[in-house]
Amino acid sequence: MKGLLLLLSLCGISSALRCTVLPGVLTQIDASYGQVYGVNSAGNIYTLQGTTWIKIAGLLIHITFGPLGIWGVNSNHNIYRSVGGNWRQMTGLLKQMDAGGNQFIVGVNVNNDIYCLSRSSAIAADGSSALPWTHIPGKLKYYSCGLLSCWGVNSADDIYYRHGITPDSCAGSTWEKVPGKLSMIEVGTKGEVYGVNRAGNIYRRAGTSATNPLGTSWEQLSTEYGPIKHVCSDLGLLWLLTPQGKILRCEV
């Protein structure tokens, strides 16, 4: 209860998001630079064209899209990158990854160990040689980066911000614990930060900018569609998934 009161004291309730329900059911979704990708419970991969989901060959449980294209992991936690329209397996094992950084890649494995791939190695990655993944101290269950910052949450839903990250030094320097509790967190294309908590409430980090990527406080958002389990943002839109996999496109 104390933690809940602390979180609520940091948040303001905004007006309800204006959302449209899209056809289909997904378990995870990612969007960047106007392109949207998702996977369903069977591991099937889709990309959105207009209001129609187009199936892509392959099977993944998590997909991510960013400046270095499309990456993902399958049910065995093998890592794949789309190279020339074909999936190429990369070295390493991850359960969740994010390609939203400035040409570097981050992710976590089944033990919640944290890894990143610096810009030069990530650009050249084509599956032909072993990748020099860099281990980052700490434990996270979900880690996400944008062009301005990197954020993560651990198994206790504690929120952390990583200082000192650059594309060529993706490990950064120190962690800063940020007040609040979130079960997942995503950094958007322009550096915006969103997350959801265990109750399915949506939060936006207020005050983020190029000069202050850490922001100032959490602001709660609301929808008429009940609890949310997954969120990502891109170009003024929020993409939300309910626990049942319903897909929502919302205006911010």
pLDDT digits (tens, 9 = 90+) for 85-144: 999 999 999 999 999 999 999 999 999 999 999 999 999 999 999 999 999 999 999 999
User: What is d(CA 164, CA 169) in angstroms, rounded to the nearest whole number?
Assistant: 8
Are 90 and 79 a contacting pair, CB within 8 Å?
A: yes
CATH number of the domain bearing residue 48: 2.120.10.30
Query: What confidence score (pLDDT) does residue 12 get?
Result: 53
How far apart are alpha carbons 11 and 232 in whole angstroms? 19
Q: DSSP code of 111?
A: T
Residue 7 to residue 252: CA distance in whole angstroms? 21
Would you state the pLDDT for residue 190?
Answer: 86
The whole-number pLDDT of residue 8 equals 39
pLDDT at 246: 98
pLDDT for res 6: 42
Under 8 Å between Cβ of 154 and 175: no
Give me the domain span that covers residue 9. Answer: 2-251
Q: What is d(CA 145, CA 9) in angstroms, rounded to the nearest whole number?
A: 26
**221 HSE (CA, 13 A, CB side):** 21
Nearest 10 degrees: CA dihedral of 121, 70, 236, 185?
-70
Q: Are 32 and 239 in contact (CB under 8 A)?
A: no
As for how many domains the chain has, the answer is 1
What's the rounded Cα separation, in Å, for the pair 194 and 233? 8
Identify the pLDDT of residue 126.
96
Q: What is the DSSP letter of 190?
A: T
| pLDDT for res 157 | 98
Give pLDDT < 50 ranges for the chain. 1-10
Q: Which long-range contacts (CB under 8 A, 24 or more apart) does 199-208 make?
A: 199/227, 200/226, 200/227, 200/228, 200/229, 200/242, 200/243, 201/227, 201/228, 202/17, 202/228, 202/231, 202/238, 202/240, 203/11, 204/14, 204/252, 206/12, 208/148, 208/149
Please check whether residue 25 is in contact with residue 244, taking contact to mean a CB–CB distance below 8 angstroms: yes
Position 14 scores a pLDDT of 57
115, 138, 165, 166 from 120: Cα distances, Å? 15, 24, 15, 12
147 close to 155: Cβ distance less than 8 angstroms:
no
Residue 16 has what pLDDT? 85
Q: What is the pLDDT of residue 102?
A: 94
Residue-level pLDDT at 73: 98
| Residue 134 DSSP SS3 | strand
The tokens for 133 are 């993944």
Tokens of 127: 């599956």
Q: Which tokens hold the place of 105?
A: 């890649």
